[in-house]
Structure 1
């Protein structure tokens, strides 16, 4: 899963990688601790940090490319009971405390997200977390 995270996002270590998969489809999350230097750079540069953060570190194809980054909250997350992360977190059977923390944080300003085919990547600089939720 780390190979899907774009190279400029420094990963310290995995926290949770879990999901469900069937014959052709799957869903889940991969949560990584972000290294301190990446978190500091994002806090200093904000959205500008992500200008060239579009391609997965391990793949060079359209399926592993992300759309332009946007700040949280995603407008639909504010008015819905589900967020960008809900489908992946539900499939992962993640700890309720962690799920609640991420569901709350993704609805707050100060974080960033990018959609990709059948996935979303959310970066929480203050929490030093990188969350990849996939579904499809």
Structure 2
């Protein structure tokens, strides 16, 4: 009987964790323009920790999210280049109130500004997220080549790296 109760408790925690992870991934996807289709493979981290169960990003939080792009999206980006992003200046959002919250500047081809790394906002946000040196180096190396695209909004950097099949969203406030 104890094993059954323990199993139910463990299963409940696993289920709660999965629901939480899905909710956070869904929240972050709202920041992406709708043309960026992603898989369910999302890696994220934030300094907000478990205290943000109700709202995944606190106003003073910092962190990063790595989205796995669908193969169809990657192929379209590789075929169309910067033209793919011509209508991609607005994140999905979740209501009319989010219209300005997720508005981005015009997309540009990489390389991203070098000051984004080292002591810059991308490295800082990825560190805040708990991403390791290997992942940060991969993003920096890829974002320093001329085969990706990026945009920004206040304290947010969105980098699309089609050769890596990822989109990287970093934020800090």
TM-score, normalisation: structure 1 = 0.89
Report deviation, 1:83: 5.4
Q: Which has the higher contact order (CA 8 A, sep 6+)?
A: 1
Q: Distance in 1 between matches of 2:68 and 2:119?
A: 24
**Structure richer in helix, relative to its length:** 2
Q: Distance in 2 between matches of 1:102 and 1:12?
A: 19
Q: Distance in 2 between matches of 1:30 and 1:80?
A: 16
Instruction: Give per-residue Cα distances to partners, 1:72-120, cap 9 Å, x unaligned.
Output: 113x317973556212111111022111111111111101000012201
Match of residue 92 from structure 2? 57
RMSD between aligned residues: 2.0
More moved, 62-71 vs 22-31: 22-31
Aligned partner of 1:2 among 5, 9, 29: 29
Report deviation, 1:45: 0.5
**Which runs of no fewer than 5 residues in structure 1 stay unpaired?**
none
TM-score, normalisation: structure 2 = 0.71
**Which runs of no fewer than 5 residues in structure 2 stay unpaired?**
1-27, 52-57
Alignment of 1:35-54 (within 5 A): 35-54=70-89
